[in-house]
A and B are shown apart, each in its own frame.
Chain A
Amino acid sequence: MKWRKILAAGMGLVMAAGLMSGCGGQTKEADNNKKDSQEKAMGRYVEEDLKPPVQDGETPVGAYEKDGTLWLYTSSGNAETGMKYYFYQYQDGKWSEAQEETGLTSAEMYVNHIEYGQDGNLYAMGTPTNTSEDVPYGWHVLKNNSDGDTWEDITPENLLKADESGYTAMLVDIDALADGSLCVGNGSSGQAEIYKDGEKVFSADMEPMMSNYQNTICASQNRLAVTAKDGKSVDFYDTEDYSAVGNVPLEEKGESYNIAAGSDGTWYSLTEKGLIRFQETGDLIETLLDGSYGKMGASEVGVSSFFCGEEDDFYALYNEYDKGRLYMAHYTYNKEMPVSAENTLTVYSLKENKTVEQAISLFQTQNPDIRVDYSYAVGQYEKPNSDDIRSLNTELLNGEGADVLILDRLPVDSYIEKGVLMDISGLRDELVKDSGMLENIGKALDRDGKVYGIPARVGLPVMAAKDDTGKALESLEALTSYLNENPDAQVLGDTIHTSAAESLLSVMYQDLVKEDGGIDEEKMIQFLDDCLKIFENMDTKMLEEAYGYDPEENEDKNVYFSAGYFSALKDGRVSLYELQGYSSMMYPAYSIKKAGIEPQTIHNCYVPYTIAGINASSKQQEAAELFIKALLADDVQGSETMDGYPVTESAFKNMLAYADTEAAQQDVVSSSFKDPKTGEEVMEEYGNADSQTLQIYLDLIRTLDNPFIPNRTLYDTVMEEVEKCYEGTETSAEAAKAIVQKMDTYLSE
């Protein structure tokens, strides 16, 4: 029996040890000491901004390196003034002055990409500014002649043949093989094609792309790399016999893989995830630089050119769409740089936030020794739920929450009450004083003289009406009496019932919610009755059918005020807008100006977004403050992420300066739609607001003093009950009773 006892004891010990191993008693300090004692792994690629001396309004066309000199091509101009092309040379750390590429300028083309071929020639692709018999409509390929000054149109004939609908092939990328054969990415056919002496000799499926320029193909001395049809891998073809020689699956990307050929048969890819080295056999896939360390990880940037340098270095030419400028990056290996940053700053937001992503990109460049670990629960247009908040709370209670918390839609007051958030009034004062942050916006989370969050973006709710209908929205009482006097009035501009209800709720929020947060049942009944009357008068059911409204669609539009956004102002209707930046005000500013009226604020309120707070238990409070400063830096504030206006005076100034540029004023949108009610065809052309108009809106922001941070539980409960009333399964009295009951329960918790 003795062996049994030994076995039993042994088993017990092993299982106990197994359990214990999951909860190791090693402290963090001990762990850090151990880490410190080990030698840090050093050496990684770093990004350097080469800062070419380009002028405002110049957009990137392409870049390449030849004989140790970097060549950068840009364009400027428009259809009226004509296109001009420039090039810059970079050698020994110095840029040359801008020189006009007269050959391209005289070609009268909208050139959107230049590529250096394997045959040592320069190729350009674009569309003619004016079509003629000699230069027909379609995408053209130009080749730089040996004299270096002129360009020859070498477009294969069949690329200019129109299809049944009258469209010619749309080119998305070009390259050239060592023998001078032309490679094109044909977006129309979804194929990569090779033309030899104008004749198509090869085609293969590629990822379908239909935008102007996508880096989908890349030639080396003996291979053609093509982004595969599934968009998740790269196919390789031998350029001698065009046989398929390999397929390498890569991590999924947002847009292109941006492939570049190395000199030794190695390939490189640049995506938002980072700079990756791989081989066509798929044996080696290695991340050389994580996307969070460079411009590639930023949102709203596109890659115009990506290629290898001559000394194990890389170049990438980025187009920063939102800022209307370019960024020339040089990636070099720095053996003094730690492989991974010594410190990590964690940032959390409930929803994906583009401004935060911009700030991370800037912060990483400014602080290469701190790595930012950003996480979020749901995407930008998804709706978070209470489970997401509970997951975060679990971390906060364990003292493991993120250092920087983006407080949008989080239970901020509970966090403040529990002491989760640090008082950052000192930082706010510093930002107001030194960074020109708008003082009124900085007060959004002011509680008893302490500041717990700083908004990096702001939404501007405005309303516009041609007559005095706007007075109906001054209070719930005013709305009800207006509807009694005008029983057929639709009050709001045409929209779907959910937007109308959300907007009305936002406008009437202060009227409906009592001081203790409870709901006045009588007022709620009145509100719901008014909503139903407006839906009926507006004929939302007909509008929804015409607009193709899908009740199952669950997209979170991230706006509280929206009614009649894209319809012209008419008598007896109020349009409500929540403007979230320069681009978002295109149509509203146009229609308000056209109507000859002024925009009005709604109860003087503004919607703070990207509200950054610091976790009181954070060990990285200094870095967290630096991160908030990055959020308010000109670079981030100036980027157009469509999630709110900037909140600094300098960003306002830059925005006003941009509004006066040719680039801003040339950005014109044409829209045509059929008015579902009148059947009338409406065609409109509008563009960005000019600086004078923009000034009116920015001045409004400066005057606002009422932060609109609604209770999401109330908001969701009301919307749920409105839906039942709209479907006719509940009366407004029943709905109001349910809302009051639920809110009473909420408050009594």
Chain B
Amino acid sequence: MSRKWTPTCQNKTAYAFLAPSLLGLLVFVLLPFADVIRRSFFQAVGGLFVGMDNYRQVLENGAFRQALGNTVRFLCICLPLLLALSFVAAVFLNSITGFARVLRAGFLLPMAIPVASVVVFWKLLFDQNGAVNQMLGVLHLTGQDWMNTGYAFWILVGSYLWKNMGYDIVLWIAALSAIPEEQYEAARVSGAGAFQCFRYITLPQMKGSIFLIGVLSFVNAFRVFREAYLIAGDYPHESIYMLQHLFNNWFTKLDIQKMSAAAVLMAIAVSVILVLVEWWNERQESSE
């Protein structure tokens, strides 16, 4: 069934209200991004057109490949883990009643803690003279500089999960609350147990929320750079050297042309992923 846009008095009013924010989007996002696309075809300074040279340089760049690999690895590990863990926690929190529901708010606390404090906390734990090494010392084990080894990656994964769990839990709980209680009651009357209720009522109705929560978690995953940067600086251990580190360092060296080309490549990659997910989501919905 094809949809046809018809101008009405109502949508004119809606566009009048939308205009300021659309204008803001245009001025602060779309136009700057257009400038980024333009810069990706020029030299950093001087305005000399170089065609696809910057893209070629970026794709051949060892640091870019390393940072991209780390970022993809991080996303592939963190996103499924986060979605699964937060979903389990949400189902559990949704099932409890009474005062214990206050626990829900507790999961949001890490989000309220400023990044600087989080960093201090991680440093206290994982520094050479930090709590972890001291505990190992008590057990007569040798500690190490955790952020300078392969463990740094898993510390970063833990940090991301800890900080974002609460937010995803709230989103899952919102989705769970939308399922009418009557459906569970009817199922129970028909003799369904807790697992059947979960399998045949809860899970199918979560499909629609996975897209939104997944996208938000994906976007949040890029913010983990702040923690990595504040803990380990411009050049952290190679396992946590992310795209944002590279972008930051390129900017320090005034390599704006490489930054722009890499940003365009990233935008294309992210758009493709989102389009594919959206396509999959719509296909799921239409098949139902």
Which residues of A approach B to under 8 Å, CB–CB? 1, 4-5, 8-9, 11-12, 15-16, 19, 23, 386, 389-390, 393, 396-397, 411, 414-415, 418-420, 616-617, 713, 717, 724, 727, 729-730, 734, 738, 741-742, 745-746, 748-749
Q: Which residue of A lies closest to B14 (CB)?
A: A8
Assess whether B235 is in contact with A8, with CB atoms less than 8 Å apart: no
Q: Quick one: which of B19, B44, B66 contacts A12, CB cutoff 8 A?
A: B19
Chain B at the A interface: mostly helix, strand, loop or mixed?
helix
Assess whether A397 is in contact with B45, with CB atoms less than 8 Å apart: yes
Assess whether A390 is in contact with B235, with CB atoms less than 8 Å apart: no
Q: Quick one: which of A396, A727, A748 contacts B45, CB cutoff 8 A?
A: A396
Contacts A12-B16, A390-B251, A742-B235; A748 near B62 (Cβ below 8 A): yes
What are 24 contact pairs spanning A and B, CB under 8 A? A5-B12, A5-B13, A11-B16, A12-B19, A15-B20, A15-B23, A16-B20, A23-B27, A386-B234, A393-B251, A397-B256, A414-B255, A419-B44, A420-B45, A729-B143, A730-B128, A741-B237, A742-B235, A745-B63, A746-B249, A748-B61, A749-B61, A749-B63, A749-B250
> Nearest-CB distance from B139 to chain A (Å)?
17
> Nearest-CB distance from B144 to chain A (Å)?
7
Given the complex, which residues of A lie within 8 Å of B44, measured CB to CB? 397, 418-419
- Tell which of A11, A12, A16, A397 has the most Cβ of chain B within 10 Å: A12
B94 close to A (CB within 8 Å): no
B17 close to A (CB within 8 Å): yes
Assess whether B66 is in contact with A745, with CB atoms less than 8 Å apart: yes
Q: Which of B124-178 touch A at CB < 8 Å? A: 128-129, 133, 143-145, 148
Given the complex, which residues of A lie within 8 Å of B241, measured CB to CB? 745
Bound CA span A599–B240, Å: 47
Bound CA span A393–B254, Å: 6
> Nearest-CB distance from B207 to chain A (Å)?
37
B248 close to A (CB within 8 Å): yes
Assess whether B145 is in contact with A724, with CB atoms less than 8 Å apart: yes
Assess whether B248 is in contact with A386, with CB atoms less than 8 Å apart: yes
Q: Which residue of B lies closest to A730 (CB)?
A: B145
Which residues of B approach A to under 8 Å, CB–CB? 9, 12-13, 16-17, 19-20, 23-24, 27, 43-46, 61-63, 66, 128-129, 133, 143-145, 148, 234-235, 237-238, 241, 246, 248-256
Bound CA span A729–B13, Å: 66
Contacts A724-B145, A745-B235; A16 near B254 (Cβ below 8 A): no
Contacts A8-B17, A386-B234; A411 near B248 (Cβ below 8 A): no
Assess whether A386 is in contact with B252, with CB atoms less than 8 Å apart: yes
Q: Quick one: which of B27, B43, B45, B246 contacts A749, CB cutoff 8 A?
A: B246
Chain A at the B interface: mostly helix, strand, loop or mixed?
helix
Given the complex, which residues of A lie within 8 Å of B20, measured CB to CB? 11-12, 15-16, 19
Assess whether B148 is in contact with A738, with CB atoms less than 8 Å apart: yes
Given the complex, which residues of B lie within 8 Å of A390, measured CB to CB? 248, 251-252
Given the complex, which residues of B lie within 8 Å of A386, measured CB to CB? 234, 248-249, 252
Bound CA span A8–B143, Å: 65
> Nearest-CB distance from A475 to chain B (Å)?
28
Assess whether B238 is in contact with A420, with CB atoms less than 8 Å apart: no
Bound CA span A713–B45, Å: 24
Bound CA span A178–B19, Å: 73
> Nearest-CB distance from B62 to chain A (Å)?
4
Q: Quick one: which of A19, A418, A419 contacts B24, CB cutoff 8 A?
A: A19
Given the complex, which residues of A lie within 8 Å of B61, measured CB to CB? 748-749
Given the complex, which residues of B lie within 8 Å of A746, measured CB to CB? 235, 249
Bound CA span A184–B156, Å: 64
Given the complex, which residues of B lie within 8 Å of A5, measured CB to CB? 9, 12-13, 16
Bound CA span A16–B252, Å: 35
Assess whether A748 is in contact with B66, with CB atoms less than 8 Å apart: yes
Given the complex, which residues of B lie within 8 Å of A616, measured CB to CB? 45
Given the complex, which residues of B lie within 8 Å of A389, measured CB to CB? 252
Given the complex, which residues of A lie within 8 Å of B251, measured CB to CB? 390, 393
Given the complex, which residues of B lie within 8 Å of A23, measured CB to CB? 27
Assess whether A748 is in contact with B13, with CB atoms less than 8 Å apart: no
Q: Which residue of A lies closest to B24 (CB)?
A: A19
Assess whether B27 is in contact with A419, with CB atoms less than 8 Å apart: no
